[in-house]
Amino acid sequence: MKTAFKSKLELVRYYANEENCKKLLAQQRWPNGIACPHCGNAGKIYTTNRGYKCGDKDCHKKFTVITGTIFENTKIPLNKWFEAIFVISAHKKGISSHQLAKDIGVSQKTAWFIEHRVREMLREKSPGLLGGIIECDETLIGGLEKNKHAHKRTPGTQGRSTKKKKAVAGILHRGGEVRVTPVPDVSKESLQSFIYANVKKNSVMFTDTWKGYNGLKADFRHLKVNHSQGEYVRGAVYTNGIENFWSHLSRGIIGIYHQVSAKHLHRYCYEFSYRYNTRKITDVERFNLVLSLCDGRLKWNDLIAKQD
């Protein structure tokens, strides 16, 4: 089925019909033919009054197009899910749960749950190692102590302290994708564990002079720019690309979400990095791509469970 819309307005109009939503979802979820979400069988599949039934002799389970997806057991119409997915993936700085609730006509609590489910869809499922030219940097998420009342400030929290802020490490493949993740701190161990898990050895690595990057020369061609001395660009050596991404992340959190908890920070990283990595395609193309990633569920009890 050919995509029948070119904008959010057309999406809302055409997919007001639940059957049209299911057809589009089936197209994006099963581009090569219907497959059983229980056993993976893509051979004989029977059509039933309410959906499908697996023809595998060891399975024979019934399922629908939403079985095993983020939409499973939802009472929210698919057209509202589609509108939410479109705006979450298209808005450069994201959309707050309060605003999304008003836009699609649900409670703020429901909108917050929808947003986190969509963010979970945007998680990179099987990332490989990046090579070539890599920019690496770190940032801290949280308010500046100098902006707080004096009696609310925590001593020793300026600079790169993580006492009241959350550290996020990031790498940018020059001209390609960005990967970011929360880390416990900005120590050598935390930063370089992330680097080695995501970058091929012998790649070209550009960083600033933070001590957390010391020792990378053993496995990478490591070049630095000295920000403390006013050096930000030396020929092709710079970290401006990853720093540009940090500006999108910080402006989105400050301007739209205002604050995020350490518990859920990783999902906001999924959201912003996914939009950045798909910045060269249209909003409609991005929507269809996100819809194809609908497998998997994030349950409410798992979302609100306390961290150890």
In the chain, where are the structural domains located?
A: 8-124+292-301, 133-262
217 pLDDT higher than 80: yes
Q: In this predicted model, what pLDDT tens digit does every residue of 244-269 receive, in sequence order?
A: 999 999 999 999 999 899 999 999 99
Average pLDDT, the chain: 92
Q: Grade residue 308 by pLDDT with cuts at 50, 70 and 90.
A: low
182 pLDDT higher than 70: yes
- The pLDDT, as a whole number, for residue 149 is 64
- The pLDDT, as a whole number, for residue 7 is 87
What percent of the chain has pLDDT above 70? 92
Domain spanning 133-262: which CATH class is it, in words?
alpha beta
285 pLDDT higher than 50: yes
53 pLDDT higher than 60: yes
Of 213, 141, 142, residue with least CA distance to 171: 213
- The pLDDT, as a whole number, for residue 126 is 79
- Two tokens, residue 145: 């102590």
CB atoms within 10 A of CB 278: 17
- The pLDDT, as a whole number, for residue 5 is 81
Q: In this predicted model, what pLDDT tens digit does every residue of 183-194 receive, in sequence order?
A: 999 999 999 999
* Global pTM value: 0.90
For residues 198 and 125, the answer to whether their CB atoms sit within 8 Å is no
DSSP E strands in the chain: the ranges are: 45-47, 52-54, 62-63, 133-141, 166-173, 178-183, 204-207, 221-224
- The pLDDT, as a whole number, for residue 211 is 96
Q: Is 140 helix (H, G, I), strand (E, B) or coil?
A: strand
